[in-house]
Chain A
């Protein structure tokens, strides 16, 4: 599986956009980029995923660079409830069909 690198922590003001970067320079052609978050000690929550095109849903947008070596998760209008640990994950196929490998993630703190 390709390894991901994320900043340890980030801050964001409430109401502003939160842009969370992720580096995955060794990603292979059939690997997807997933984003999850974990609020306090709850189970992780799926946010969004993509292969090579930018994606948007009701929660966030995912921007993947053309060379696919990095991506950015955008929360367009962060709220206090978005304070969480955000995980950028690259999935593998083949014999490791669909398994997710979680790293340390980014602690996002949204402040008033």
Chain B
């Protein structure tokens, strides 16, 4: 199993450009989510999904869109990149049983995004 795969690993954007960060998992996990991590800070939840066709906002959703058309994929779209979106982005997935992530969340290796 590949686990959670994030692409690209590194990206540089100009202010105003749009792009999509890809996240794919091959574990048939219902739950997927996107986090961002800024220097010296913990992870902050952007958006999450509990299944195909269902998404919801996290702590810092502004400037980002998501969709979940399949169980495997959960792309994150930056509509108009801003320097404040310079960050490391992590995707995570898990099974859900009785309100808990059974076995814990599996995180991807991250996408390092710089907006200039």
Contact = CB atoms under 8 A, between A and B. Distances in A.
Interface stretch (B14-22, B68-76, B77-85, B88-96): B88-96
User: Interface size class for chain B?
Assistant: 20 to 34
| Interface SS of chain B | strand
B43 to A, nearest CB: 4
B42 A41 contact: no
Contacts of B105: 36, 44, 46, 100
Contact of B99 (A30, A45, A87): A30
Contacts of A103: 42
B108 A98 contact: no
Interface of A: 30, 32, 34, 36, 41-49, 51, 87, 91, 93, 95, 97-105
Given A43-B92, A49-B104, 14 more contacts: A32-B100, A42-B110, A43-B4, A43-B90, A43-B108, A46-B105, A48-B104, A91-B101, A93-B99, A95-B56, A99-B45, A100-B33, A100-B101, A102-B42
